[in-house]
A and B are shown apart, each in its own frame.
Chain A
């Protein structure tokens, strides 16, 4: 590679990294405890006693209370509100019911109640305070909503560009060095350089996957809007132009669920989106079913049921952009392979933090040197140190 092209790649690498480093450090540091949020929740909360432990609320096992009964309980606790979501669990009889002042209420106005579907007892309300919730919001959108999310997505794109340019620079740097070289005894700068290169190259695939899936996750809202405008509109064409169905005319949920199960037999529902919300039309209960294999469990298929009559309208699997979003979640959170995978996720996250800090140190140490001098440093495998 010519010195001039090494210089160009060096500039790309340093500037894309510099812009995103502070945010990436924040994401790595807040992400570390978030990997273990299930475990932390379980430790801090009292262990729950269920009426029928081990029976998923998403099943239709005998003994589970009707959905209409559960909804009546939730609405009795929130007079004047309307149903927004009902979500199920595959492992325990717990379920959540989300209500709000109107069918298109924003997140801040929603109330989420957690019930035991086997006893009908209210287990609690989902809290939006607490350290973990604070970390999650900071990690997701910097407390700035959609603009914050998209901003962090842009930082993720820069991070990906930094990874690519880093790999390009790895080649001339390692030209005369054996893989894994760590020259720790010669100079501090050389030790940092070798550490940055080794850790960066071994964790490359993991950092790329977590980075790119993180970017896809920031597009959740636009992706959902796109689905509503294209797919959902096509699925409910016969309802176009009809007045929105008022909540007073919503029909039986159990009847709707029975119709939906008939359309997609053998699958379990993950949640129901109510009319007027972001996950349904203005006239339907959208029952989102999971697939029945480990891989397709994350790929949802909505069955649309006329919320007034309980008649089945249609069911259609989600388009590719929703599918990639569904698969991006586990690949970003690392919560899909038990505790050992989470622990590996944590170690790799710490490795990423070291890559970020050593990178910052390398830049700070010689920030006044010319880019040509830096290119020379890359070209010689760190032997020639850029002058001040």
Chain B
């Protein structure tokens, strides 16, 4: 996929990934509040997603 496209994208496409990451972050932030153990683990996993996304972009999207 080339970084610059001719066709303008729809709003839904532009915000698909950001919304998914934001939703995961919020689930993660709340999960650890509601209990320990596997809820903590869920929150660690969820908050790793934004950080991994940056790593992925540096690896796969640099142009």
Contacts and interface: CB of A to CB of B under 8 A. Distances in A.
Given A174-B14, A179-B16, 6 more contacts: A175-B8, A176-B9, A180-B53, A181-B4, A295-B33, A336-B33
Contacts of B48: 344
A182 B33 contact: no
A195 to B, nearest CB: 9
Nearest to A183: B63
A344 B61 CA distance: 23
What are the 5 tightest A-B residue pairs by CB atom distance, in nearest-first order? A337-B32, A180-B57, A205-B25, A205-B22, A202-B50
B9 to A, nearest CB: 6
Contacts of B40: 337-338, 340-341
Given A341-B44, A348-B50, A351-B54, A182 B34 contact: no
Nearest to A191: B62
Interface string B27-63: 0010011111000100110011011011011101111
A347 interface: yes
Contacts of A186: 63
Interface string A153-184: 00000000000000100110011111111111
B57 A295 contact: no
Size category of the A interface is: 35 or more
A202 B20 CA distance: 10
A327 interface: yes
A202 B50 CA distance: 5
Contacts of B3: 177-178, 181, 183
Interface residues of B, number: 42
What does DSSP make chain A's interface, helix, strand, loop or mixed?
Answer: helix
Nearest to B1: A178
A295 to B, nearest CB: 5
A198 B63 CA distance: 14
Contact of B51 (A205, A330, A348): A348
A206 B47 contact: yes
A340 to B, nearest CB: 5
Contact of A202 (B9, B18, B44): B18
B22 A204 contact: yes
Q: With a 10 A CB-CB cut-off, give which of A180, A203, A341 has the most chain B CB atoms.
A: A180
A175 B9 contact: yes
A345 to B, nearest CB: 8
A178 B3 CA distance: 5
9 contacts: A176-B9, A181-B3, A181-B4, A182-B58, A198-B54, A330-B33, A340-B44, A351-B54, A381-B4
Nearest to A204: B22
A50 to B, nearest CB: 23
Contact of B21 (A171, A202, A294, A347): A202
Interface string A197-216: 01101111110010000000
Contacts of B4: 176-177, 181, 381
A330 B34 CA distance: 12
Interface in A193-235: 198-199, 201-206, 209
A331 interface: yes
B29 A331 contact: yes
B61 A205 contact: no
Contact of A171 (B6, B7, B11, B44): B11
A185 interface: yes
A210 to B, nearest CB: 9
A336 B4 CA distance: 42
A185 to B, nearest CB: 7
Contacts of A209: 25-26, 29
